Amino acid sequence: MTLVGMVTGLVDAKIDFVLVGGFAASAHGSTRVTQDVDICYNPVPENTRRLASLLREWHAYLRGVEPGLPFVIDERTFRDVPVMTLATDHGWIDVMDRIAGLGDFIDVCNASEEVAIGDRTLKVLGLAGLFAAKRAAGRPKDRDQLPELEALLELKRKQ
């Protein structure tokens, strides 16, 4: 499945989320390639139930964990595990209810903007939010992307 396919599935399932990470950066012009969809989701019970249901349909399983170990994806799992990196039938997805450098879902929403991807409109983390999140994450691959994000921010300011 493609980014458009996964995003369409999330939107059609009425999941309240913000696209963050590499694909969000790509939506703003980044040339970096990523292999997973990263989302920050609204952790309210109804939304969490819908997200868990969709991920079960997609046969989500913890990425990098030995196959066959017990894993149940439900509301409790989301309450107990704030960040999950998952492999699904449709591709890799990372789900989280907060973003380092920004805060909880409401903070992430406030730092997002609406973008059309395919024939759907969704919330995507804005460049300033991406910059703050990448800086806070502090991983080498995140630090390496900061100059590009800074340049994109400067181009946006000039427009």
CATH code of residue 68: 3.30.460.40
45-92 tens-digit pLDDT: 999 999 999 999 999 999 988 888 888 899 899 988 889 999 999 999
Identify whether 40 is part of a domain. yes
Q: pLDDT band at residue 147, thresholds of 50, 70 and 90? A: confident
User: What pLDDT, in 10s, does the model give residues 88-112?
Assistant: 999 999 999 999 999 999 999 999 9
Q: Are 131 and 30 in contact (CB under 8 A)?
A: no
* Positive/negative CA dihedral, 152, 38, 20, 9: positive
Does residue 125 contact residue 111 with C-beta atoms inside 8 Å? yes
Whether 153 maps to a domain, the answer reads no
Rg of the chain over Cα atoms, rounded to whole angstroms, equals 15
Residue 156 lies in a domain: no
What's the total number of domains in the chain? 1
Domain of 96, in residue numbers: 3-147
29 φ/ψ angles, rounded to the nearest 5 degrees: 110, 0
User: Does some domain include residue 159?
Assistant: no
Q: If you search the block for the tokens 């000039």, which residue do you land on?
A: 158
* Torsion-angle region of 138 (φ positive above 0: left; ψ -120 to 50: alpha; else: beta): left
**Which of the 8 DSSP states describes residue 30?**
-
Helix (H, G, I), strand (E, B) or coil at 132: helix
Q: CA 28 to CA 148: how far, in whole Å?
A: 11
Q: What is the pTM for the complete model shown?
A: 0.90
Higher-confidence residue: 69 or 123? 123
Is residue 59 a part of any domain in this protein?
yes
Query: How far apart are alpha carbons 145 and 159 in whole angstroms?
Result: 22
Helix (H, G, I), strand (E, B) or coil at 81: coil
Give the mean model confidence (pLDDT) for residues 3-17: 92
